[in-house]
Structure 1
Amino acid sequence: MSRIPAAKRRRISLPQDDSSASLPPKNYKSNLISNAAKWNLEQGYEQRPRKLKAKQRENRKLPIKTTEGWVEQKIAPEEEKEEDDDSGSFLGSGSGVEEDPEPEEEVLEEKPKVSQRQQIIEAKEELARIASLVNEDPEEHIGALRTLAQIAASANITVRKLALATQVAIYKDLIPGYRIRPLSEDTQNEKLSKEVRKLRNFEQKLVSSYQAYVKELGKLAKASGSGASEEVTSLATVAISCACTLLLAVPHFNFRGDLLRIMIDKLSGKRVDGDFVKCRETLETLFQNDEDGNASLDAVTMLTKMMKAKEYSFDESVLNTFLCLRLLSEFSSKASYNSVDKPTDQQYHGKKIKEKRDWRTKKQRKLLKENKAIEKEMKEADASVSHEERDRMQAETLKMVFVTYFRILKARSDKLMGAVLEGLARYAHLINQDFFGDILEALRDLISRAEASVNADVDDESEDDEDKVSQRYATRESLLCIITAFALLQGQDGATAASTLKLDLGFFITHLYRTLHPVSLNPDIELSSRSLHLPDPHTPEAHTQNAATNKINVQTTIVLLIRSLSSVLLPATALRAVPPLRIAAFCKQLMTVSLHLPEKSCVAMLGLLNTVTKTHGRKISALWNTEERRGDGVFDALKAEIEGSNPFAGTVWEGEILRRHFCPAVREAVAGIEKNIMEAR
């Protein structure tokens, strides 16, 4: 087989590729300049498509010269991928619909999420850092108070509570012991030294930050209500607690009225809870610790306005806060709802004795004068309160208290009557004679109204529970009026008041005598006004009844009756001599009443009779001896008047029955009464 010859190799020139064709000729520059006038520049722009797809985009990059020739730049692959994605979607650029801002949404979602626990930890560290900086140099880092206010506006409730509590601690340390007054325009333009100007700037920034903080506390405290959530209610509780702390810590500083308004707004509500009790105790502590009387005057003024606006429909514990005022023990003058008695200085009309003066040199007199000036400046710097200013404040406060008491008496508020009568009894030594007559007239009207209501219930012969309760309250109200009337007289100069105003307490004594039999037949005589509806001890309302300041409404009816009888038969001051006829009539009735009383009440009543017989034994000894009658006729136990009952025409036969009582204490009390009568003879 023959061998096939190999193909002949020829030398072939390289084909002219695009890169070599793209090389510019030698006369490229001269041809470009000569043909430039023939170019149609607008034709290329006109033939260009209006909207290019992603793949048909024009490559605007210039060619690059390499060793192989001129090379055109290609579009970056990342951009092509994005363009392909956009062109492939149904909302691409070719569809004519605007694209959604998807990149912005992705940026928002990529933010790191911090848990609430981590937020609280970071907030604690930041609050501690800011507090330490402010305590180290307050004037330098006073601007950190704004940062605290921003943290207090956080969305996390726990962080807000921590920020509010931190601000309280910082302000307690920063607030000075004086009140900062606002700067006027003239004061701001004064030329001051660098230190004084720095101090003024610090004070103004402190006041402005403190004002914003107090306003924020007020907003948070008002946010709580019946329809509020638990988070809002807990935040309001923290805000009220912070306000109470500031009011007690810095009562002299600016914006005290705003803090008091937070307290009184809470006390004006009908809901009694822990925040209510906190505000009430704060006011009581403020009244007890107030030395100059300025804060007490502001608080009492706002309280009286609130009571009038509420038409005296509020909890009686708010009214009992007046019993914590320091003027009860410090104020010496007497006042009413419109005036205050000024003390008269005794003038010495005789010849003045010339004082013996010590001889001093000119230098000593000059030194003494300088020392007096220094002492005067020191007193002003210490802000010591003068007695005249304090008395003026307390006098204004006392007038407002009496205005409130008298208006409630006129309004006939049943819920507040016990608190008002106890308050008048406590303030008896500070009431002047003009106001005393008005109070007695109001008490007479109350007793007449109570007696009329009891008679109406008896005539109707209704056995409803509401009628029985109203009758029981009317009896207690009349007893309270009698106790208050005699307590007021004990606080006055009885002889002078009786001769000047012609006061007659016979109305109260007669009413007490008429109510002895109905009260003795009351089955609830050993129960107080609240014994029939005691609250659950586990509820917050159980802690709102303060027995220390509300003594008169927690006392039972028998206690009130014995207090009234003690005021009539055993007066503390010698207002007038008790006539034998009155003592005999009351003793005869009380012995009869003791037969119907329960065991404890009977023992208490016989104890009172034991004291009466020891004091007035000679006047009434004839009642225990049938052979020593002083009067003729018959004893009438149902007589309304004391003088017409003819007590000396009867005898105390009830002692023979009480001597055989089942209780040993009653038998011993009867034996003690008879022993006093035998000794009096």
Structure 2
Amino acid sequence: MAVERTTKRRRLSPPNESKSAVPGFAQWDIEQNYEQRSRKGRKDKSEKLLVRTTDGWKENQRLKDAEQNDIAEDADSFVASGDDGADSGVADVEPKAAQKPLLSPKEQIRQAKEDMARIAGHVSEDPEENIAQLSQLGQLAQSENMTVKKLALCTQLAVYKDIIPGYRIRPQSKEDMQAKVSKDVRKLRDYEQTLLTGYKEYVQMLSKLAGDSQMSSVAIACAMTLLTSVPHFNCRNELIALVMRKLSTRNLSADGRRCAEALEQLFRDDEEGHASLEAVGQLTRMMKGKNFQINEIVLNTFLHLRLLSEFTHKASTNHIDKDDTQDAQPRKKLAKKDREHRTKRERKVMKERKVVAKEMQEADAVVSYEDRDKNQAETLKLVFVAYFRILKARVQHLMGAVLEGLAKYSHLINQDFFGDVLEVLKDLISEAEASLLPDDDEDDGDEVDIDAAAERNVTRESLLCIITAFALLQGQHDVAKSANTLSLDLNFFITHLYRTLLPLALNPDIELSAKTAHLSDPNGLATPTTKDTKVNVATTTVLLLRSLHSVLLPPTATKSVPPVRIAAFTKQLMSASLHLPQKSTIAVLSLLREVTKTHAGKVAALWNTEERRGDGVFDATGAAVESSNPFAATVWEGELLRLHFDPRVREAVLGVEQNVIIKPEGR
């Protein structure tokens, strides 16, 4: 009997399902099913381009290899991320090293440049919003790559120069931080304090890197730029101290010379006087601590102070003489008939304009004359203290610079120090002359003493002493009037200058300065003299002319110059013109032209024998000017100078003779 095969029906719903139950498809976990699907669906072969080979068109083998590598990496990462902790440490480190490969130095510099440019642009564009990014520049400056570090320092310099305000930021105290202020004020304070903090860290970094041999030049250059560009801002003392460390040696390096130039620029551009006062104070303390074993270039920075053109009072090492007579004078009232008539409205408008002008002056932060005079007075006292200490200590390699400075500041020296300075100058000349004399006790030491005197260049020192002495007298009009009461004897300097004329005419280096190339080696090769220079750039001829001009053509009391002195110097200068180089001869004859024009009646007897009054013989090598008997001589040197090969010398001689020669009648 055949069994009837029943058909299998599909069950649509559970057997015990009630009418109120949800449909079957709602019970399927659709989200779980989707979650368990494979993330990398197998792509169809049609989506990949075939590659033509010698065997025909085939699938791209490189794509297959890449897929297999991806699957292997996924498997490795899945194993490495397990929680059992049984993997080795090598498996954990290798993937991380592969993700962050080390960059080459060139790539580091390129990436650092991009980061610096981006940060600097953001900060310069909106400093208040992006001021926090300055810390990123500070982190780049700590890089081990020297090029990146230098670029970071220069970038910070440019950013700070751009965003530093025109005023000094005061650090906040606890009371300021706890005070209740508006939102805008709080935002401005936070910006200022963040800027100040970053700037201090930057200056400290420069001070630290200044001692590094590789980063020293860049750090010092950044510090000098900040000191000359923003001297009003905070951390000025730290920048000046950094510069002073490079100036505290006898032999200055290239960085030290640049620091001296930056200091000179600071002195010239300082209007208020605060920065100059701090710099001079640290400079004098440094000189005293080093026992004045410094280069003269450092001392010559005092000549660039603004005291010469602005300060008018006289000072010493401890006080300032101020002239208050002008302030004490009462204001003169105009007579009623001389007053300008103004209506009530005009007076009211003028009063309002004065108030507005005063407010504008305060808003523009105009320098107060009282504060500036006070700062300059303190600066001048420090300068004189340094000069007098060097004179007292007899520091030979700085003597020329000190004398040059005293001659420049002669009009600012107090009367109390005038006599003492002259005595010191006399002692210096006497010591210079004694250094040229040979020692009778030691025969072997003669050459050594003469060579040492030659290195000192005592002639230049003597001329500077003479210039300083007459500059002091000319700058003190009240002292010049009372010279007899103070017993100021300037004949010593005049006599020494008279005895120096003929030896100077035979000096082959008279037209060279202390810093000009000299022929020092026997082969005739020009080598610059870099040791023990005495003056800035003035040649010996210039110093001689300045001395002669002070003696023969003083600015005041020209009638007081005795005829014997003028005649004796004129005769000596004409004799010296025969031996001087052509440029020096022209300069001396030009001076004699002025002398003969001013004192024609006193020296005419030297050219006209009929007008001569004197007996005896002229003593050109006499010890005193008055006893040389110049009127017993005749200026015969003019006949030879008229035959000089240089036409300018011939013209200069004719100009001198035209002032003194009396023409006969009828010509």
Range of TM-score over shorter length: 0.7 to 0.9
Match in the other structure for 2:424 = 442
Residues 530-679 of structure 1 mapped to structure 2, 5 A cutoff: 530-533=515-518, 552-574=535-557, 577-661=560-644, 664-679=647-662
Unaligned runs of 5+ in 2: 1-75, 77-87, 521-526
Number of the residue aligned with 2:467 = 483
Q: CA deviation at 1:118?
A: 0.9
Equivalent of residue 514 in structure 1, options 490, 499, 503: 499
Deviation string, structure 1 residues 158-185 (Cα, Å, up to 9, x no partner): 1111211121222223222221112222
Are 1:222 and 2:235 counterparts?
A: no
Q: Evaluate the alpha carbon distance shift between residue 105 and residue 303 of structure 1 in structure 2; reply closer, same or farther with a 3 A threshold.
A: same
Matching of residues 115-514 of structure 1 within 5 Å: 115-224=104-213, 232=214, 235-346=215-326, 347-348=328-329, 379-456=361-438, 464=447, 467-468=450-451, 470-471=453-454, 473-493=457-477, 495-498=480-483, 501-514=486-499
**CA deviation map 1:336-364 (0-9, x unaligned):** 22221212234457996798897869xx9
Q: For residues 376 and 197 of structure 1, what CA distance do their matches in structure 2 show?
A: 30
CA distance in 1, matches of 2:183, 2:152: 33
- Structure 1 residue runs of 4+, over 6 Å off? 100-109, 349-359, 367-375, 457-463, 541-545
Query: Which one is further off, 262-271 or 387-396?
Result: 262-271
> For residues 303 and 262 of structure 1, what CA distance do their matches in structure 2 show?
12
In structure 1, C-alpha distance between the alignment counterparts of 2:496 and 2:219, rounded to whole Å: 52
Correspondence list, 1:91-110, <5 A: none
* Cα distance in structure 1, aligned partners of 2:606 and 2:265: 54
Once the two structures are overlaid, the 10-residue window that deviates more, 588-597 or 526-535, is 526-535
- Distance of 1:299 and 1:518 partners within structure 2: 42
Distance 1:592 1:136 in 2: 73
Instruction: Indicate if the aligned counterparts of 2:109 and 2:148 stay in contact, CA closer than 8 A.
Output: yes
Any gaps of 5 or more consecutive residues in structure 1? 1-77, 79-99, 225-231, 536-540
- The one-letter code matched in structure 1 to 2:258 is K
**Is contact 2:313-2:321 (8 Å) kept?**
yes
> Do the aligned partners of residues 670 and 369 (structure 1) sit closer, same or farther apart at CA in structure 2, a change above 3 Å counting?
closer
For residues 540-599 of structure 1, give each alpha carbon's deviation from its aligned partner in whole angstroms, at most 9, with x where no partner exists. x99999xxxx99543332332232222211223336621111112222223333344344
Aligned Cα root-mean-square deviation (Å): 3.7
Tell me, in whole angstroms, the C-alpha distance in 1 between the residues paired with 2:185 and 2:654: 84
The amino acid that maps onto 1:305 is R
Deviations 1:67-86 (A, max 9, x none): xxxxxxxxxxx9xxxxxxxx
Distance 1:517 1:259 in 2: 51
The amino acid of 1:477's aligned partner reads E
Name the aligned partner's letter for residue 494 of structure 2: I
Counterpart residue identity of residue 186, structure 1: E
Q: What residue is the counterpart of 1:62 in the other structure?
A: none
Q: Deviations over 1:173-210 (max 9, x none)?
A: 32222211122222222122222222222221221111
Asked if the contact 1:622/1:648 (under 8 Å) is kept, the reply is yes
Distance apart, 1:477 and its partner CA: 0.8
Is residue 142–residue 205 contact of structure 1 (8 Å, CA) maintained in 2?
Answer: yes
Aligned pair in 2 of structure 1 residues 289, 645: CA closer, same or farther (>3 Å)? same
Alpha carbons 1:405, 1:420 under 8 Å: kept: yes
SS in 1 for 2:294: coil
**Deviation at residue 217 of structure 1 after TM alignment:** 0.7
Residues 107 and 307 (structure 1), Cα distance of their counterparts in 2 relative to 1, 3 Å cut: farther
1:440–1:485 Cα contact (<8 Å) kept = yes
How has the CA–CA distance of structure 1 residues 563 and 349 changed in structure 2, closer, same or farther, with 3 Å as cutoff? closer
Q: CA deviation at 1:152?
A: 0.9
Pair 680,307 (structure 1): closer, same or farther in 2 beyond 3 Å:
farther
After superposition, give the CA deviation of every residue in 1:103-132 in whole Å (9 maximum; x if it has no partner).
788689765211011111111122222223
Question: 1:254 offset after TM fit, Å?
Answer: 1.0
- SS in structure 1 opposite 2:397? coil
Distance in 2, matches of 1:380 and 1:543, equals 52
Shift of 1:267: 2.1
- CA deviation vs aligned residue, 1:628-680 (integer Å, no higher than 9, x gap): 44233333222201122222233334444545555555455444444432238
Secondary structure in structure 1 of the residue aligned to 2:465: helix
**Residues of 2 paired with 1:567 and 1:481: CA distance?**
12
Q: Secondary structure at the match of 1:143?
A: helix
Q: 3-state DSSP class of the match of 2:314?
A: coil
Q: Distance in 2 between matches of 1:369 and 1:658?
A: 72
CA contact (8 A) 2:517 2:528 kept: no
C-alpha distance in 2, partners of 1:597/1:542? 23
Q: Is contact 2:473-2:480 (8 Å) kept?
A: no
Distance 1:293 1:458, change over 3 A: farther
Amino acid at match of 1:203: E
State whether residues 312 and 412 of structure 2, in contact with CA within 8 Å, keep that contact through their aligned partners in structure 1.
yes
Alpha-carbon separation, structure 1, partners of 2:332 and 2:298: 55
Amino acid at match of 1:424: L
Question: Structure 1's 359 and 618: CA in aligned 2 closer, same or farther, altered over 3 A?
Answer: closer
Identity %: 59
Q: Report the TM-score, using the length of structure 1 for normalisation.
A: 0.74
Secondary structure, aligned partner of 1:148: helix
Q: 3-state DSSP class of the match of 1:588?
A: helix
Distance apart, 1:432 and its partner CA:
2.9
Measure, in 2, the Cα distance between the counterparts of 1:544 and 1:247: 28
Normalising by structure 2, what TM-score?
0.75
- Which one-letter code corresponds to 1:165 in the other structure? C
Letter of the structure 2 residue corresponding to residue 448 of structure 1: S
Aligned residue for 2:227, secondary structure, equals helix
Equivalent position amino acid for 2:574 in 1: M
**2: distance between equivalents of 1:615 and 1:459?**
50
Contact 2:246-2:252 at 8 Å conserved across structures: no
1:525 paired to 2:510: yes
Whether contact under 8 Å (1:490, 1:572) holds in the other structure is yes
Q: Counterparts of 1:598 and 1:282 in 2: how far apart (Å)?
A: 38
Q: Deviations over 1:501-525 (max 9, x none)?
A: 3423111101111222322333333
Matched residue pairs, number? 565
Q: Tell me, what secondary structure is at the counterpart of 2:386?
A: helix
Contact 1:589 1:637 in 2 (8 A): yes
Call closer, same or farther: CA 1:456–1:251 in 2, change over 3 Å.
same
Question: 8 Å contact 1:240–1:275 — kept in the other structure?
Answer: yes
Q: SS at the partner of 2:221?
A: helix
